[in-house]
């Protein structure tokens, strides 16, 4: 059974940083791309970042480009999202999700999410 467990969320001041982690189990970690999707309070889903199974390629939404960085550690079966220069509009639940193939595809499994609140 695929399990994705996010951690690292919390309250941070504008301009601050956080690193989210997503511990994965139940599948061959390096064989699948991973991503982060966020949901602001009362709003819809917004894709944030993605990384291929090997970690050789990443992509980020324009809204976070230059501030967020996705990475993965195959020795720990963990995906990370380093978030810098946080803004109030980054406040959201951040979901880690597994993609259906090594470098593309839909999201076939989701974690329960971790809440990030950016406020002074």
For another protein, the closer of residues 93 and 120 by Cβ is 93
Verify binding: residue 114, another protein, rule CB under 8 A: no
Say how many C-beta atoms besides its own lie within 10 A of residue 22's C-beta. Answer: 26
Q: What share of the chain is helix, strand, coil (3-state, %, to 5)?
A: 5, 50, 45
Which region among 14-22, 46-54, 74-82, 84-92 touches another protein (by CB under 8 A)? 46-54
Q: Should residue 53 be labelled a site residue for another protein when binding is judged by CB under 8 A?
A: no
1 binds another protein (CB under 8 A): no
CA separation for the pair 111, 115 (Å, rounded): 12
Residues 55-74 that bind another protein (CB under 8 A): 59, 61-62
Sign of CA dihedral 3, 80, 66, 89: positive
**Interaction between residue 44 and another protein (CB under 8 A):** yes
Q: What backbone phi and psi angles, to 5 degrees, belong to 31?
A: -85, -5
Q: Looking only at residues 90 through 109 of this chain, which bind another protein when binding is defined by CB under 8 A?
A: 95, 100, 104-109
Kindly state whether residue 112 participates in binding another protein, applying the rule CB under 8 A. Answer: yes
Number of H helices, E strands in the chain: 0, 11
Strand-pairing partners, residue 71, are 80
Q: CB of 100: closest distance to another protein in angstroms?
A: 7
Binding interface with another protein (CB under 8 A): 35, 37, 44-47, 50, 59, 61-62, 95, 100, 104-113
């Amino acid at each position: 059974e695929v399990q994705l467990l996010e951690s690292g969320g919390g309250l941070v001041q504008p301009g601050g940083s956080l690193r989210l982690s997503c511990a994965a189990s139940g599948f061959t970690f390096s064989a699948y791309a991973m991503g982060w999707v966020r949901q602001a309070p009362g709003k819809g889903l917004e894709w944030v970042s993605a990384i291929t199974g090997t970690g050789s390629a990443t992509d980020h939404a324009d809204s976070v480009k230059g501030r967020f960085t996705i990475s993965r550690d195959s020795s720990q079966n963990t995906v990370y999202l380093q978030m810098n220069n946080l803004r109030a509009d980054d406040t959201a639940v951040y979901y880690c999700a597994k993609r259906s193939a090594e470098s593309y595809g839909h999201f076939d499994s989701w974690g329960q999410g971790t809440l990030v609140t950016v406020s002074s």
